[in-house]
Structure 1
Amino acid sequence: MIKAYRNLSRLASIARVLARYDALFLLEENFPPARLVSWPLKIRPPRLGRRRAVAALRPGERLAMALAELGPSFIKLGQALSTRPDLLGEQMAADLSGLQDRLPPFPAEQARKIIEEELGGPLDQFYSAFDDNPVAAASIAQVHRATTVEGRDVAVKVLRPGVAAKFRRDIDLLLWMAQTAERALPRLRRLKPLETVRTFEESVNLEMDLRFEAAAAAELADNFRGDESFRVPEVDWVRTGKRVMTLEWVQGTPIDERDTLIQAGHNPTAIVGKAAEAFFNQVFRDGFFHADMHPGNLFVDSDGNLVAVDFGIMGRISQDTRRFLGEMLLGFLSADYRKVAEVHFAAGYVPADQSIDAFTQACRSIAEPILGRPMHEISIARLLGQLFQITETFAMETQPQLLLLQKSMLVAEGVGRNLDANVNMWQLAQPLIETWMRANLGPEARIRAAAGTVAESIERLPRLLRETERTYAMLQGSGLRLHPETVKALAADQRRGGRAVMIVLPWLIAAGLAVALLLK
């Protein structure tokens, strides 16, 4: 009861801020109890000047302004919601994607104290120089430039003091709202509000420990080792802890400063090609991608190569999901909408009781207006966004990993178009896509998959026999008595099983050898 009262009180304060920006619509539509605290706020309208200024904005813009005023947790929430066009609509999701995670910096004295506590010694033991003026300050951490005692220029990221407790309070409120909404409105369960908040909670918890971000940077660097076109700053593990992370200092030009890049002699089209290749390799080759690669996190060095920073938000995609994406993309690009529908049903994204013919028609209605445009105007991210919007019609469950990918693709396309509006980054990546398709979806891939299944079956046979013998020995040792007829039946099954193994095993071995020869 006390918890409910505390949450309702907090909800009332949130509603007051939303009311000032005429942004109560989302709360009221998806969380009916909010109306109990929101309706009195509408009795006293805002000042005339503010009302006119707010009225001129789109709903998503008004909501973005309100969330920015509510503080760090809600800025992060808005950024997370920007990946949910299925829930908010494409325009509102796009408006929320513009939320900037920038806050006033906290005092340098606090940053120095946190560093010394975390690293276990005086600051000058680790850094010969430390700039008290941060180069960036966000809701969770801020970044200072420094020089190590060995003379290397580095970026030092320091967690904001007290941030964990503030996020915990707001996440508890969001969890309570999601649980209440699922109980009160069963139709919302398909959109998985509770799971969405849990995912948001997990993401924030990871960002609260900078060792996880350092590990993500190191993994991404390993994936691109030997690739000069895309680089990740080196982690200084000696000067990294839960609340402090030290990375190699990045010298470069932000990727959205097109004129500066041209003046420096760089070719924007070549940069788009490198960005397309890097994004494709992260998603399809590695299944591990930078999910926050906006222009502020991507630089171009003096050689025209890309350097990424800020690895707090990363995405993972399983091999099966990558195959699904590949087959879906192939189906759309070849206008084989029946194939697109079949892939969705096979993956379990659309329930089996839905009409595959109707879903095929829906896929065509989405793709034709987008794919019928000039090549440089085609947006694969917009295609995915439109697809997610029909989820309710076909009772499709939300796939959080695909929503995060769709947002990342949208940002990547925006970066590409800013550099060269006449080039489509997916067209530049087409050779990579075709090679990946052949390797993962063609006949060779099916042979390899069959070979893997055969090998796995052969490996499992001895283990299966050992487990059977162990179970039989345990039954004998336990003193458990079986009916004579049951013993006879088990003996007969064992003989049949043994004969089956002896019959099947040679064929499995032969099949394995045949596949091995085909793959040579």
Structure 2
Amino acid sequence: MNTFSRTLTIVRKLAPRVLKYRDIRNRIIEGKEVSETELEREARLFTDALISLGPTFIKFGQVLSVRADVLPDSYLRELQRLQDEVPPAPFEEVKTYAEEAGVELTDKVIAAASLGQVHIGYFQGQIVAVKVNRPRVEEILRTDIKIMKRLLPFLRLIFDSSFVESIKIVVDLFSKRIFDELDYTKEAFYHDKIQEELKDFNVKIPKIVKATKKVLIMEYLPGYKITSDEALRNNDRRALAWRVFKVFMVPLFEEKYFHADPHPGNISVDENGSLILYDFGMVGSIDPETRIKLVRLYLSLSRGDAIMVVNVLDQLGAIQPFANRDVLVKGFDLMIRQAKGEVEQIELEDFNRLASQAFYKFPLRLPEKLALYLRMSGVLEGTCKMIDPDFDFVQNTVRLMQEERLARLALIDELSDYFRTANNAIKASMLRKGEPSRKRSKKWIGSLIIAISLPLYFFTNDAYLAILVSILGLSITLSLP
């Protein structure tokens, strides 16, 4: 691939969108009105430009779709279509990889993604599902990432430093992790881990037949798409949405790994009502401490506790060091009350909108360890509402927390924070202060009287007298210079 011509193509297609976004961002930050129509139109043009630039930028757009600290909500919503609207590569260009793995590929495409696509095939006489890399995808990725890094410094001439630093972090993480997704032996690893975690659920996961770096051969396990008429007609909608919700949320809160891509195309249901999960290329992991903080954050938002929201965000590393915490508390309190309106609980869509506004307008930074969760929860909420329009993400999350006793652990962690804060305050009060004067302190008189109270008690056996003497000594200590 010619680097120079590719650079010109990227600049030609993205420069108009980048410059327009700079204008939109500046107006939002300055508090000026930007119409939703304008935002949606620009977001659509930006997404179309990414699609036209191929697999690297499609995948990068998918990463940006969860970065509420970089883009406003309208852009995030539009970028979600990069999960589904990806045209497959020509059959003749991908079948070579399959033949090298010993599988006969058909031209029937089940699914197409940014880095690969899934076909029906035959392996050792049996029908299988075959996931195969897009042609020359690794070469394309390496060239495009090199160009992205070269162009990155020029953004400093256009955007504020906060935005540039956020984009730099996204590009660095993207360039480090993207090549792992090309290696289907790693996807097979995560497949097996999640299959073990879900062994007690009524869930089917296609067995891995063979995995190479470029080809993944799996058991062909067809079913009805979870949002299809057949699936919804044969199952109770409310119960089905709850089952889907639990399959993705329980591993998040209790296990090491969680499936991070719960869009309807990755979930089916068979004729017996069993769920079927596909595609383990996007898997996340949250450490136990972050998991508890996440539950605390969610509960704090639910009860409208802006102070605790800011406190937990600080502990998660989501607040810039220079940020004024008091201003953040006021901002969160205002947005929470706006989101609640007249109702008692906030829908997840309002939570996500709240988070987008906060990360975009305030000096916050979205921790990488939470970015995948925020994306997963938003997609899961949308999927569950397509199954059951009355599905309430907040109520079901509270229900799950109660069933799994997660709220109790979060409460213990919060009480520990209170204890540490009080303990530190007491210790700080015990520190000696610098003496403003060289005059000898007379506080020793009170200390001597307090010391006398102890032997006085032993000789007289009069506790009241000893306590009165101690109080006298304490009063003298506090009153003397």
Return the TM-score normalized by structure 2.
0.74
Decide which of 71, 74, 89 is 1:105's aligned counterpart: 89
Q: Which residue of 2 aligns with 1:340?
A: 309
Q: Residues 391 and 157 (structure 1 numbering): CA distance in 2 closer, same or farther, change over 3 Å?
A: closer
CA displacement, residues 323-347 of structure 1 (integer Å, 9 cap, x when unaligned): 1111111111122222222222333
Tell me the residue number matched to 2:385.
Answer: 417
1:6 to partner: Cα distance: 5.1
Measured against aligned partners, the alpha-carbon deviations of 1:226-261 in whole angstroms (never above 9, x if no partner) come to 211x3332222xx2111111122222111222x322
| Partner of residue 53 from structure 2, selected from 34, 45, 70 | 70
Aligned residues: 403
Please list the CA deviations of residues 174-201 of structure 1 after superposition, one character each: whole Å capped at 9, or x if unmatched. 1222344359866136742222012222
In 2, distance between residues paired with 1:165 and 1:444? 47
Query: Retained in 2: the 8 A contact 1:252–1:302?
Result: yes
Q: Which amino acid aligns with 1:77?
A: F
> What is the deviation of 1:219?
1.2
Identify the residue that residue 408 of structure 1 maps to in structure 2. Answer: 376
1:277 and 2:246 aligned = yes
Match of 2:114 in 1: 139
SS in 2 for 1:396: coil
Query: Residue 131 of structure 1: CA displacement?
Result: 2.9
Matched, 1:247 2:207: no
Cα displacement (A) at 1:133: 3.0
CA RMSD of aligned residues (A): 3.3
Go from structure 1 to structure 2 and tell me whether the alpha carbon gap of 1:194 and 1:427 turns closer, same or farther (over 3 Å shift): same
Distance 1:439 1:250, change over 3 A: farther
Structure 1 range deviating more: 407-416 or 130-139: 130-139
| Residue of structure 2 in register with 1:380 after alignment | 348
Residue 273 of structure 1: CA displacement? 0.4
Distance in 2 (CA, whole Å) between partners of 1:29 and 1:314 is: 35
- 2:436 is matched with none
Paired residue for 2:405?
436
Matched residue, 2:67: 84
Structure 2 distance, partners of 1:193, 1:422, is 37
Alignment of 1:163-242 (within 5 A): 163-181=137-155, 187-188=161-162, 191-228=165-202, 230-236=203-209, 239-242=210-213
How high is the sequence identity, in percent, across the aligned residues? 25
> More deviation in 134-143 or 68-77?
134-143
Q: How many Å separate the matches in 2 of 1:112 and 1:182?
A: 43
Distance 1:358 1:277 in 2: 37
Alignment partners' CA distance in 1, 2:358 and 2:164: 13
Measured in 2, the distance between the counterparts of 1:165 and 1:313 equals 21
Secondary structure of the structure 1 residue equivalent to 2:161: helix
Q: Structure 1's 250 and 82: CA in aligned 2 closer, same or farther, altered over 3 A? A: same
Q: Distance in 2 between matches of 1:79 and 1:156?
A: 23
Cα distance per residue 1:135-184 (max 9 Å; x no partner): 333332222223443x6542111222211101111111112223443598
Task: Return closer, same or farther for 1:196/1:72 CA change in 2, 3 Å cut-off.
Answer: same
SS state at 1:322 partner: helix
Aligned to 1:295: 264
SS at match of 1:157: strand
Give the superposition deviation at 1:431. 2.4
Q: Distance in 1 between matches of 2:255 and 2:308?
A: 25
The answer on whether the counterparts of 1:86 and 1:385 sit within 8 Å (CA) in structure 2 is no
- 1:281 Cα deviation after fit: 0.9
Maintained 8 Å contact 2:266/2:279:
yes
Q: Are 2:296 and 2:312, in contact at CA under 8 Å, matched by a contact in 1? A: yes
Q: Residues 85 and 373 of structure 1: is their aligned pair in 2 closer, same or farther, counting only changes over 3 Å?
A: farther
Shift of residue 322, structure 1, vs aligned partner: 0.9
Measure how far apart 1:429 and its partner are. Answer: 3.6
- 2:371 alignment partner AA: L
CA distance in 2, matches of 1:176, 1:308: 39
Instruction: Return 5+ residue gaps in structure 2 as ranges.
Output: 26-36, 420-481
**Structure 1 residues 460-495: Cα deviation after superposition (integer angstroms, max 9, x where no partner):** xxxxxxxxxxxxxxxxxxxxxxxxxxxxxxxxxxxx
Query: Structure 2 vs 1, CA of residues 152 and 433 (structure 1 numbering), >3 Å: closer, same or farther?
Result: farther
Inter-partner Cα distance in structure 2 for 1:253 and 1:63: 33
Deviations 1:310-368 (A, max 9, x none): 12122222212111111111111122222222222333432565443322222222222
Structure 1 pair 288–426 and aligned structure 2 pair: CA distance change class (3 A): farther
Deviation at 1:112, TM superposition (A): 4.6
Q: 2:42 aligns with which of 49, 59, 69?
A: 59
C-alpha separation in 2, matches of 1:65 and 1:186: 25
Equivalent in 17, 25, 42 of residue 19 of structure 2: 25
Q: How far apart are 1:379 and its partner, in Å? A: 3.0
Change (3 A) 1:139 1:212: same
Distance 1:191 1:293, change over 3 A: farther
> Hey, what's the Cα distance between the residues in 2 that align with 1:381 and 1:191?
27
Aligned amino acid, residue 86 of structure 2: R
| Contact map agreement 2:293 2:410 (CA 8 A) in 1 | no
310-319 vs 377-386, which deviates more? Answer: 377-386
| Matched residue SS, 2:109 | coil
Once residues 118 and 230 of structure 2 are traced to their aligned partners in structure 1, the CA distance between those partners, rounded to angstroms, is: 24
CA deviations 1:50-91 (Å, max 9, x no partner) are xxxx98961111111222222222211222211122211001
Secondary structure of the equivalent of 2:10? helix
CA contact (8 A) 1:381 1:409 kept: no
242 and 163 in structure 1: CA distance in 2 versus 1, 3 angstrom threshold: same
Decide whether the 8 Å contact of 2:99 with 2:105 is kept in 1: no
1:13 correspondence with 2:9: yes
* Residues 144/30 of structure 1: CA separation in 2 closer, same or farther (3 Å cut): same
Change (3 A) 1:369 1:301: farther
Look up the SS of the partner of 1:102 in the other structure: coil
CA distance in 1, matches of 2:313, 2:18: 35
Distance 1:394 1:178, change over 3 A: same
Alignment correspondent of 2:441: none
Distance verdict in 2 for CA 1:326–1:262, change over 3 Å: closer
Against the structure 1 CA distance between its residues 180 and 173, is the aligned structure 2 distance closer, same or farther, given a 3 Å change threshold? same
SS at match of 1:304: coil
What SS does the aligned partner of 1:85 have? coil
TM superposition shift of 1:26: 5.3
Kept in 2, the 8 Å contact 1:439–1:445? The answer is no
Shift in alpha-carbon separation, 1:208–1:282, aligned structure 2, 3 A: same
1:24 to 1:11, Cα distance in 2 relative to 1, 3 A: farther
Structure 1 counterpart SS, 2:69: helix
Equivalent of residue 321 in structure 1, options 268, 285, 290: 290
| 8 Å CA contact retained: 2:73, 2:356 | no
1:168 aligned partner, one-letter code: R
Q: Which stretch of the first structure deviates more once superposed, 364-373 or 154-163? A: 364-373
Query: Residues 390 and 139 (structure 1 numbering): CA distance in 2 closer, same or farther, change over 3 Å?
Result: closer
Distance (whole Å) between structure 2 residues aligned to residue 57 and residue 356 of structure 1: 32
